Amino acid sequence: MFHVKQSHIIVVGGGHGGVEAAAAAARMGVQVSLVTLDIDGIGAMSCNPAIGGLGKGHLVREVDALDGIMGIAADGAGIQYRLLNRRKGPAVQGPRAQMDRQLYRTAVQNAVRGMAGIDVIEGEVADLLVGNGAARGVILADGSEIPADAVILTTGTFLNGVIHIGLERKAGGRMGSRASVALAQRLYDLDLPMGRLKTGTPPRLASDSIDWSRLEEQPGDDVPVMLSFLSREPVARQVSCAITHTNEGTHDIVRRHLHESAMYGGQIDGKGPRYCPSIEDKIARFADKTSHQIFLEPEGLNCGTVYPNGISTSLPEAVQLEYVHSIEGLEAARIVQPGYAIEYDYVDPRALDRGLQVRALPGLWLAGQINGTTGYEEAAAQGLYAAVNAVNAVRWDDPFHLSRTESYIGVMIDDLITRGVTEPYRMFTSRAEFRLSLRADNADQRLTPKGCRIGLVGQHRAEAFDEKCRRLEAIRSVLHGARIGAAKAHEAGLPVSESGPARSAMDLLAVANVGIDDLDALVPELCGFDDETRAQVGREAIYANYLDRQETEAAHLRRDEATVIPADLDYAMLRGLSHELSEKLTATRPDTIAAAARIEGMTPAALNVILLAIRAGR
Ligand code: FAD
């Protein structure tokens, strides 16, 4: 009888990238060894206890659409849901939920344990097995060797990690975990382009030491928007957060001690995330601001600790306590774990191919923070994507590529491998030029069929998706089929003129300020559809008129990317360019729009400003 050897992939790391990589490979039928320093740390959230947000919520939904575990795990642990940018259009709304850390970790661990084909190994990967110019497995610190067809590294902040609290420094991958030094050395020996980045986290506070009564309560949404397409409602008890603010006293304390901050005392070389600044950064860079908002976010239902979002720091612990006490409601707060900064090695992602494989060493894939990104969602999306490509490669199947036009994952991969990073990369909706069609609400329609075709999506999700599509098709057909005269529509109170041709109900739904409820009296069949189907078709209609225009703009942009930029273009004179981008453009002087587009931090809007300037002959 013919025996086909089952492929075997090793995933190094049990963080957010690692678990999605392991789970994706296992769903595709590959044997997976998940090697991690600490089994109990699988699914741990190193920093903020939240999943989703602006841009990040899109990534969670895309991972979920491809049957990843993050969305479902998050809905098993969500203790407060908020749809960010609720007042703006659905394209830029970001579903976000506050997590009970322990529940999240348990949900992830259960998902990994419950999946056939994943063998979890506790140990430190110290070296790679290399043969015939390709990665062939790993060597653990105890000398044991594990051969495999492919290796995916998702080591997060652990490579040569150094933790800084004030002027103290110690090796560590995050608080309470050792750093990964031998493996980092191996990557240097491979001559991979590497650099240093940093990130920070705030002190954690004891909940019972906070005077909640004096603070502004921030409840969750009345109707929670779930992170997974398969979830219906939260399972955990829902709680409120609270809001407080720094004040001039806080700023004085921080300013007096700036020289003791690891970041400001010259202890750290690595670049930090600009959009997630430490309290030191905020006070030094935005000296004119007299107050900054702080969200007090419970880290769980029973753990008793609170994450003060907005005051990450690397000041000495005594200074942290002093500035925390200067803040309203926190006058008697106890610090349970001090804030700290971490500095770590990353690999320049321009060394990777479009499937996240290291070009110089086939068989080795990298995903997550090791590629210079920051965030659970960015790591999860890369882990899943790298695993699919690793599985396809070991099976000699075609690569699985997602383009910028169809997903935020595609945007992120393209950004990473073409632009590299100069600071920790995180997702924003502004990075996606086709964002009107890349919405969190339609991630399943964009990606689930693709996932089904490659065996990444399980039967349960595939069936739920088919059922949803049937309902959507049915309601679209009702809306397209119903023709309504102008006078009748006007009489029903719709904001349209009394005269003019009859229109389909779908066209009427696309008129500004017309909602699906407004059409019920005119098209009674609509009342037979469930709320979610009605809401979804309403979201689609909002953009119906813009999508053609977006496609045209995209085509123009592609053409213009080959347009030469005059060498003497004065970026400082261009209205609509941020100061930072103008400086970068002046320093790098890209010769074409294509080159300008690859500059880190460049946005579609800024490219348009330059294009207009070229056309105007400035
Ligand atoms: P991680 O979640 O870090 O997981 C790495 C895994 O690799 C761990 O399981 C570890 O045990 C394992 N590992 C490492 N080396 C080895 C080895 N040699 N052998 C075996 N296993 C190994 N994100 C934000 O979005 N916003 C923030 O403000 C933010 N602040 C942060 C502050 C701090 C102090 C830290 C530590 C992280 C912060 N993050 C923040 C980042 C967030 O934690 C990461 O982006 C995310 O966890 C990355 O996921 P990952 O899978 O790449 O790595």
- Centre of ligand 1 to C-alpha 15, Å, is 6
Residue 339 DSSP label? -
Among residues 11, 1, 16, the alpha carbon closest in space to that of 174 is found at 16
94 in Cβ contact with 53 (< 8 Å): yes
State whether the beta carbon of 309 lies less than 6 angstroms from ligand 1. Answer: no
Q: Tell whether ligand 1 has an atom less than 6 A from the beta carbon of residue 38.
A: yes
- The answer to the question of whether 284 is labelled as a binding residue is yes
Q: 257, 316 in Cβ contact below 8 A? A: yes
Q: Which residue has the tokens 């045209």?
A: 552
Q: Is 283 annotated as a binding residue?
A: yes
Pocket test for ligand 1, best of 35, 39, 47 (most atoms within 8 A of CB): 47
What pLDDT, on the 0 to 100 scale, is given for residue 122? 97
Q: For residues 18 and 37, what is the distance between their CA atoms, to the nearest angstrom?
A: 12
**What is the arithmetic mean of pLDDT over 135-162?**
97
Ligand 1 pocket member 611 (CB < 6 A): no
SS3 145: strand
Comparing CA positions, the residue from 390, 397, 404, 396 lying closest to residue 357 is 390
Token pair of 455, please? 């065996």
The Å distance, Cα 505 to ligand 1 centre, comes to: 49
pLDDT at 220 over 70: yes
Please check if 224 is assigned to a binding site: no
**Best CA proximity match to 230, nearest among 468, 476, 57, 469:** 468
pLDDT tens-place string over residues 97-108:
999 999 999 999
Over the chain, what is the mean pLDDT?
A: 92
d(CA 491, CA 501) in angstroms, rounded, equals: 15
Q: Does ligand 1 lie within 6 Å of residue 363's CB atom?
A: no
Q: Tell me how crowded residue 23 is: count the other CB atoms within 10 A of its CB.
A: 29
Residue among 514, 482, 516 at smallest CA distance from 496: 514
> What pLDDT is attached to residue 599?
75
Is the pLDDT confidence value at 252 over 60? yes
pTM of the predicted protein model: 0.90
Q: Name the helix (H) or strand (E) containing 596.
A: helix 593-597
Q: What is the pLDDT of residues 286-341, one digit of tens each?
A: 888 999 999 999 999 999 999 999 999 999 999 999 999 999 999 999 999 999 99
Quick one: pLDDT band at residue 551, thresholds 50, 70, 90?
A: confident
- DSSP letters along 523-547, please? -GGGGGS-HHHHHHHHHHHHHHHHH
Dihedral pair phi/psi, residue 418, rounded to 5°: -100, -30
Q: Atom 43 of ligand 1 has which residue's CA nearest to it?
A: 46
State the number of CA atoms in the 13 A half-sphere of 528 facing the CB: 9
**125 labeled binding residue:** yes
Terminal Cα-to-Cα distance of the chain (whole angstroms): 74
Residue in 20, 36, 119, 198 to alter for ligand 1 test, most ligand atoms within 8 A of Cβ: 36
pLDDT tens, residue by residue, 426-469 = 999 999 988 888 999 999 999 999 999 999 999 999 999 999 99
Beta-carbon count within 10 A of 487 CB: 14
Predicted confidence at residue 371, as pLDDT, reads 98
**Predicted pLDDT at 616:** 81
Residue with tokens 């969200």: 295
Indicate whether residue 166 lines ligand 1 (CB < 6 A). no
- Span 62-72, average pLDDT: 98
At residue 562, does pLDDT exceed 80? no
Exposure on the CB side of residue 440, measured as CA atoms within 13 A: 30
Instruction: For residue 345, give every residue at least 6 positions away whose Cβ sits within 8 Å of its Cβ, in sequence order, or none.
Output: 159, 160, 184, 187, 194, 195, 196
Contacts of 598 (CB under 8 A, 6+ apart): 418, 419, 590
Residue 183 pLDDT greater than 60, yes or no: yes
Tokens 């006007």 belong to 490
**Atom 29, ligand 1: residue with shortest CA distance:** 47
- Confirm or reject: Cβ of 276 under 6 Å from ligand 1: yes
| Residue to mutate (ligand 1; options 127, 366, 374, 412; most atoms within 8 A of CB) | 374
Cβ of residue 199 lying under 6 Å from some atom of ligand 1: yes
Residue partners of 111: CB distance under 8 A and separation at least 6: 19, 23, 69, 72, 73
Whether 369 has a binding-site annotation, put simply, is yes
CB of residue 13 inside a 6 A radius of ligand 1: yes
Res 1 pLDDT > 50: no
CA of 141 to the centre of ligand 1 (A): 20
Ligand 1 contact via 161 beta carbon (within 6 Å): no
Distance from the CA of 304 to the center of ligand 1, in angstroms?
A: 23
Q: For residue 367, which atom of ligand 1 is closest to its CA?
A: 52
Is residue 253 within 8 A of residue 319, CB to CB? The reply is yes
Q: Give the distance (Å) from ligand 1 centre to CA of residue 58.
A: 20
As a whole number, mean pLDDT of residues 531-558 equals: 81
Q: In the prediction, which pLDDT does 3 show?
A: 53
Residue 475, annotated ligand binder? no
Is 276 labelled a binding residue? Answer: yes
Contact criterion met (CB below 8 Å) for 600 and 421: yes
CB contact at 8 A, 246 and 106: no
β partners of residue 131:
134
**Mean pLDDT value of segment 376-386:** 98
Q: How far is the C-alpha of 550 from the C-alpha of 446, rounded, in Å?
A: 17
Nearest CA to ligand 1 atom 42: 375
> Distance from the CA of 157 to the center of ligand 1, in angstroms?
5
Q: What is the DSSP string of 162-204?
A: EEEETTEEEE-SBTTB--B-HHHHHHHHTT--EEEEEEEEPPE
Is the CB of 35 within 6 Å of ligand 1? yes
Under 8 Å between Cβ of 52 and 226:
no
> Packing angle between helix 56-65 and helix 376-394, nearest 10 degrees?
30
In this prediction, residue 589 carries a pLDDT of 65
> Ligand 1 pocket check: which of 155, 373, 427 to mutate, most ligand atoms within 8 Å of Cβ?
155
Judge if the beta carbon of residue 371 lies within 6 A of ligand 1: no
- Mean pLDDT, rounded, for 374-403: 96
- SS3 of residue 112 by DSSP: helix
pLDDT > 90? residue 583: no
Ligand 1 pocket residue status of 342, Cβ below 6 Å: yes
Q: Is 543 annotated as a binding residue?
A: no
Distance 342 CA to ligand 1 centre (A): 10
User: Cα–Cα distance between 53 and 321 in angstroms, integer?
Assistant: 29
Q: What region, left, alpha or beta, does residue 356 occupy, with left being phi > 0 and alpha being psi -120 to 50 degrees?
A: left
Beta bridge partners of 78: 99
Is the CB of 17 inside a 6 Å radius of any atom of ligand 1? Answer: yes
Q: What span, in angstroms and rounded, lies between the C-alpha atoms of 523 and 474?
A: 13
Short-list 546, 589, 507, 528, CA closest to 89: 546
Q: Which pLDDT does position 490 carry in this prediction?
A: 94
Which ligand 1 atom is nearest residue 183's CA?
A: 18
CB 227 within 8 A of CB 377: no
